[in-house]
Amino acid sequence: MTDYKSLLRELPAVDRLLRETPLEDKMRHLPRRLVLEAAQETIASYRRRISDYSSLDNSPESPVQIDLSPSALAEEAALLAEKRAGSNFRSLINATGIIIHTNLGRVPLAPSAIEAVTAAARDYNNLEFSLDTGERGSRQEHLEKLLCDLSGAEAAAVVNNNAAAVFLALNTIAAGREVVVSRGQLVEIGGSFRIPEIMAASGARLVEVGTTNKTYLRDYEAVVNENTAAFLKVHTSNYHMIGFTAAVKTKDLVSLAARCHLPLIEDLGSGVFRDLTAYNLPPEPRIQDSIAAGADLVTFSGDKMLGGPQAGIIVGRSDLVAMIRKNQLARTLRIDKFTVAALEATLRLYLDWERAEQEIPVWTMIAAPPAEMRRRAEGLAEQLSGLLAGGDLEVIEGFSRVGGGALPTAELPTFLLALRPPEGKSPTDLVAKLRQGSPPVVLRLQQDRLLFDPRTIKEEEEEALVGAIDRACR
């Protein structure tokens, strides 16, 4: 029988550990409290291990084999301290091929937007100061003209995200009154944005019309009464109905809304300025088309297919936008200077579509032809084939996705680097190792193969990716 009590006594004390070279080193350039914590946690974890063994009679690994020397523990504590000292929020390589990846920060910004954010962080600026008059200005002014030019709307306002845009529009126009929505459009997006809940929070009363698959204009018409405040049309961004369906076109709802003297609010979700069929993608409603059709307010996200910073954009009738801006809640949902900077720079690129496609990463990734994906996947395979001792590399055909709850059925043909792990290594372990590595790599696992999609990997990340795969496979 092992004498666990004596093993516990053998554990070095914290100050003994701190005198070991690796920790003395860390003390010199990391915050003292981090190093101290790491030493305490390391000792505590060994104490737990020993106690766990003592409660297991036939443990496969005898605790006597654990190295309890101060140098071994100090080594481990030093690694822990180093890890804790680094940022928790980090850059990573997205090899999933999902372009708008909400969990991974949605989309990278265009270079000019990155520059604008850096300048906003570094310098004072005219966020709310008019350089013409020397008087107080509005942060919205930096964005409104561009948004109106691009969408054809009379006015625009920008808030923290699209959920906030929908909430604020409903709260301003319909609190305490009724809003008519088709049953087929009561969507949930991303697990936390649900139309019925947002509507309830805004104080508007939801009036559902039609059925799950079919809603007609007469369904909307039948429920209008003196308490009706607006019609709401929601783009069913993240699901697609097939079979027998009927939805009312924006243009028809516009005529009904006009006849009833009620505004039509349209939540486009992703929102695009460009016709997606040019990229062999299913059509998405364009912002300028909804405005041209006569929607009174249109809302969309800044960081989905627009490819900018997180924001919720409201464009439409100037009297309604003015009311929205005056709402006290607008202050709680307002955007910061970084969003103003990044969004203005991103919108400016849309003034020239060619530049938008070349410089806004979401569009560069969507537009990348399969032949280029093949060339890059083959390049990665070639670099790795010289390094990997075992494992099986192949370039295969596959699909990338737009993601972000947009275009749920759309697939972009691509080429993938497929890696079958070396003998004796489990694919799930390898995925975890890559995720916990430096830089972390996030990818898709299909059966026993790890898939890397060049579409969402920047060319300048390739070297780091090859290194990470090589280290993980050892």
Residue 294: what are its φ and ψ, rounded to 5°? Answer: 110, 10
Told to check if 107 binds ligand PLP by CB under 6 A, we report: no
Told to check if 22 binds ligand PLP by CB under 6 A, we report: no
Q: Under rule CB under 6 A, which residues in 338-377 are in contact with ligand PLP?
A: none
Told to check if 235 binds ligand PLP by CB under 6 A, we report: yes
- For ligand PLP, the closer of residues 313 and 450 by Cβ is 313
Cα-based distances in Å from 56 to 42, 112, 287, 384: 22, 61, 65, 44
Distance of CA 367 to the CA centre of its chain: 20
Cα-based distances in Å from 208 to 1, 87, 264, 265, 442: 72, 47, 15, 15, 41
Told to check if 234 binds ligand PLP by CB under 6 A, we report: yes
Shortest CB 283 distance to ligand PLP, Å: 16
- The conformational region for residue 280 under phi > 0 = left, psi -120 to 50 = alpha, else beta, is left
SS (H, E, C) 141-155: HHHHHHHHHHHCCCE
Residue 176: what are its φ and ψ, rounded to 5°? Answer: 80, 0
Shortest CB 305 distance to ligand PLP, Å: 10
SS (H, E, C) 178-206: EEEEEHHHCCEECCCEEHHHHHHHHCCEE
Shortest CB 256 distance to ligand PLP, Å: 21
Shortest CB 351 distance to ligand PLP, Å: 23
Told to check if 163 binds ligand PLP by CB under 6 A, we report: yes
Told to check if 193 binds ligand PLP by CB under 6 A, we report: yes
Say how far apart CA 27 and CA 297 lie, in whole Å: 58
Residue carrying the six token digits 């009363």:
205
Inter-axis angle of helices 462-473 and 427-436, nearest 10: 130
Told to check if 161 binds ligand PLP by CB under 6 A, we report: yes
| 395: β partners | 417
Told to check if 301 binds ligand PLP by CB under 6 A, we report: yes
SS3 content of the chain, % helix, strand, coil (to 5): 50, 20, 35
- For ligand PLP, the closer of residues 181 and 384 by Cβ is 181
Contact predicate 159/314, CB 8 Å: yes
Told to check if 403 binds ligand PLP by CB under 6 A, we report: no
Told to check if 269 binds ligand PLP by CB under 6 A, we report: yes
> Residues 263, 309, 312, 421: which binds ligand PLP (CB under 6 A)?
312
Contact predicate 308/346, CB 8 Å: yes
- For ligand PLP, the closer of residues 12 and 403 by Cβ is 403
Told to check if 184 binds ligand PLP by CB under 6 A, we report: no
Told to check if 314 binds ligand PLP by CB under 6 A, we report: no
Report the residue closest to ligand PLP, judged by CB: 269
Told to check if 401 binds ligand PLP by CB under 6 A, we report: no
Mark the segment that binds ligand PLP (CB under 6 A) among 204-212, 229-237, 283-291, 342-350. 229-237
Told to check if 189 binds ligand PLP by CB under 6 A, we report: yes
Told to check if 167 binds ligand PLP by CB under 6 A, we report: no
Q: Which residues bind ligand PLP (CB under 6 A)?
A: 161-163, 166, 189, 193, 234-235, 237, 267, 269-270, 301, 312, 405
